[in-house]
Amino acid sequence: MKKKIWIWNHYATDMFFNKGGRHYWFAENLNKNGYETTIFCANTRHNTEEVIDLNNKKYLIKTVNDIPFVFVQTTPYTGNGMSRVKNMVWFYKNLFPVAKEYAKKYGKPDVILASSVHPLTLVAGIKIAKKFGIPCICEVRDLWPEAIFAFDKAKEKSLLGRILVAGEYWIYRNADALIFTKEGDTDYIKEKKWDTAQGGKIDLNKCFYINNGIDIEAFNQNIDEYVIDDEDLNSEKFNVVYAGSIRPVNDVGKILTAAKLLKDQQDIQFLIYGDGNQRPMLEQRIIDEGLTNVKMKGFINKKYIPYILSKASVNLLNYSQTQYNWSRGNSSNKLFEYMASGKPVISTVKMGYSIIEKYQCGIELENSTPQELADAIIKIKNMSESEYKKIGENARIGAEDFDFNLLTKKLIDVIEGVG
């Protein structure tokens, strides 16, 4: 008899439409391995005003590629204020009646995989799994209280901060297994002295590392199927490509400053794909500073990203060194797309548990300055053909270790371990 797996991710809604993403690929590969997988998500699409009409019901089921998606009723929201908090709370509250009714119709699951970003999904997973008498695996994709403290949204020693940390500890204690997406995330548990070796209640043997990754077959297929007719991208110039959000944490202004330093290098151009709240400001900078070697391409559909990256000469993993704790590693989807493209990667931050260093597929900057970035670009541009090809091949081979076929096997080990 097939094991039923329920995957809960508030923000998996886009995966239904994109036919891709972490939990879509997990579900797809779990089904290939004889499991029966269902994804529960919100009926709102993140960063849009789009709401899926549920016909006045608490949930709606839609199926794509034999994966049922259960869209759970939530409230619309914009931005990151109280309307978004309300959206999270309603998703949490409605999971309880929806899970009960869905289980009555289709049978209860054997395992629940509850995934953050926000912790209420994990709390619901633990509580509902307990009612069903089944295990709950909690997947922590962001150390959410730490991130809140880092962005100064709350102080760790404040009442709210202490409540958040206590809630985090409760989740870690009560989960039957914990999956972290960064290799060094369990260092956080040790730093808090929550592990059993230091008198805490969390057994590190129930903690597992499964990073984000990529469907390499789909990525390569998209290179051939979704081609962009772009004279900049298809020019003979050395293309320095950034693809991603344009927000403070991405520090895209640093790329513009590096481009200014390389203004006299006529055969180097910077192509920036993506959108975000800093885009208008940076577009104005390009005009004001006469940066003719920088092209802001705007939002691009994800299906075109593989082709774009394949036409790059080097891909930039660009972040702010100060707005995130990079010591525990990186789980950026972008990194694995960059690697799969078979092109060298430059990271503007030095990371712990470095994947770039492990696979020798690029350069990590020590000091994260525009001058250092400009120097790294020139270094890669001036490499011998054999050295350049070797780094690109290292990237492509490294990406294979993060293919979802392999990552799903790791997940199956966790599922069978708790089941």
Per-residue pLDDT tens over the stretch 103-131: 999 999 999 999 998 899 999 999 999 99
pLDDT tens, position by position, 229-286: 999 999 999 999 999 999 988 899 999 999 999 999 999 999 999 999 999 999 999 9
Q: Which CA distances in Å does 186 have to 22, 193, 194, 234, 328?
A: 21, 11, 10, 44, 9
Q: Which of 135, 189, 139 is nearest to 165 (CA)?
A: 189
pTM to 2 decimal places: 0.93
Q: Which CA distances in Å does 390 have to 213, 218, 362, 393?
A: 22, 24, 10, 5
Q: Say if residue 413 is in the same domain as residue 384.
A: no
Q: In the predicted model, is pLDDT for residue 152 greater than 70?
A: no
Q: In whole angstroms, give the CA distance from residue 41 to residue 62.
A: 11
Q: Say if residue 183 is in the same domain as residue 293.
A: no
Q: In whole angstroms, give the CA distance from residue 124 to residue 92.
A: 6
Q: Say if residue 61 is in the same domain as residue 151.
A: yes
Phi-psi region of 45 (alpha: psi -120 to 50; beta: other; left: phi over 0): beta
Q: Say if residue 396 is in the same domain as residue 336.
A: yes
Q: Which of 216, 230, 231 is nearest to 300 (CA)?
A: 230
Q: Say if residue 147 is in the same domain as residue 100.
A: yes
Label residue 229 exposed, middle or buried (CB < 10 Å: 0-12, 13-18, 19+).
exposed
Strand 36-42 with 59-64, pairing: unpaired
Q: Per DSSP, what are the bridge partners of residue 63?
A: 68
- Both structure tokens of 184: 């060094």
Looking at this protein, which amino acid is placed at residue 111?
Answer: V
Contact 87, 42 (CB under 8 A): yes
Q: Say if residue 313 is in the same domain as residue 365.
A: yes
Confidence grade of residue 320 (pLDDT, cut at 50, 70, 90)? confident
Q: Which of 117, 126, 140 is nearest to 186 (CA)?
A: 140
Q: Say if residue 38 is in the same domain as residue 154.
A: yes
Put the strands of the sheet holding 177-180 in their side by side order: 59-64, 67-72, 36-42, 4-8, 111-115, 136-140, 177-180, 207-209
Task: Please tell me the total count of domains within the chain.
Answer: 2
pLDDT tens, position by position, 67-81: 999 999 999 888 778
Contact 112, 82 (CB under 8 A): no
Q: Say if residue 389 is in the same domain as residue 257.
A: yes
Q: In the predicted model, is pLDDT for residue 319 greater than 90?
A: no
Q: Which of 152, 245, 212, 236 is nearest to 340 (CA)?
A: 212
- Both structure tokens of 106: 């289709």
Q: In the predicted model, is pLDDT for residue 150 greater than 70?
A: no
Q: Say if residue 143 is in the same domain as residue 14.
A: yes
Report the pLDDT value the prediction gives residue 81, as an integer from 0 to 100: 81
- Both structure tokens of 81: 């204020």
Residue 68 has phi, psi (to 5 degrees) of -70, 130
- Both structure tokens of 171: 């989740």
Q: Say if residue 243 is in the same domain as residue 205.
A: no
Q: Say if residue 209 is in the same domain as residue 220.
A: no
The domain in which residue 107 lies consists of 4-213+403-418
Q: In the predicted model, is pLDDT for residue 101 greater than 80?
A: yes
Q: In whole angstroms, give the CA distance from residue 319 to residue 326.
A: 10
Q: Say if residue 255 is in the same domain as residue 174.
A: no
Contact 278, 245 (CB under 8 A): no
Contact 289, 260 (CB under 8 A): yes
pLDDT over 70 for what percent of the chain?
A: 98
Q: Residue 358's domain is classified under what CATH number? A: 3.40.50.2000
